[in-house]
């Protein structure tokens, strides 16, 4: 799925897998081992109307994935009960795959990936960007 395809969508549910602060357009997170995570994109924020479901929240404190019902409940709280209409993105297309796998694991079906993700979207100044919560 290309940036042009995503920009033309009218029915899909866009899901942003990045941490909340990245979605809201705030300062990048700090990694306890590495320090402040560098920014690679020309703009902050998210694709308008996207829902934020940070992929790291699918994991237990020990790094194992949460039970399927917990993940189903989490997506349902965001209004997602079927992944067939979902397009998942993140910063560069990697952690978006985690959300797609989590939805399948939870029995919600298959969504689609926007591999260019925020990095591709934010480089096109003609496309809108949102900050804060949607």
Task: Write out the catalytic residue numbers.
Answer: 90
* Residue 118, C-beta contacts closer than 8 angstroms, at least 6 positions apart: 16, 18, 22, 41, 46, 47, 89, 90, 91, 92
User: Phi-psi bin for 100: left (phi > 0), alpha (psi -120 to 50), beta?
Assistant: alpha
Count of alpha carbons within 13 angstroms of residue 26, beta-carbon side: 10
């Amino acid at each position: 799925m290309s940036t042009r395809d995503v920009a033309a969508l009218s029915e899909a549910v866009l899901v942003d897998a990045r941490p909340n602060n990245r979605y809201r357009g705030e300062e990048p997170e700090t990694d306890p081992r590495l320090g402040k995570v560098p920014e690679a994109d020309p703009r902050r924020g998210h694709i308008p109307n996207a829902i934020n479901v940070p992929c790291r929240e699918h994991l237990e404190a020990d790094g194992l994935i949460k039970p399927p019902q917990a993940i189903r409940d989490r997506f349902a709280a965001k209004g997602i009960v079927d992944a067939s209409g979902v397009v998942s993105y993140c910063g560069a297309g990697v952690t978006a795959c985690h959300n797609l796998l989590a939805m399948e694991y939870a029995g919600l079906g298959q969504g689609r990936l926007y591999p260019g993700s925020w990095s591709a979207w934010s480089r096109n100044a003609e496309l809108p960007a949102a900050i804060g919560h949607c």
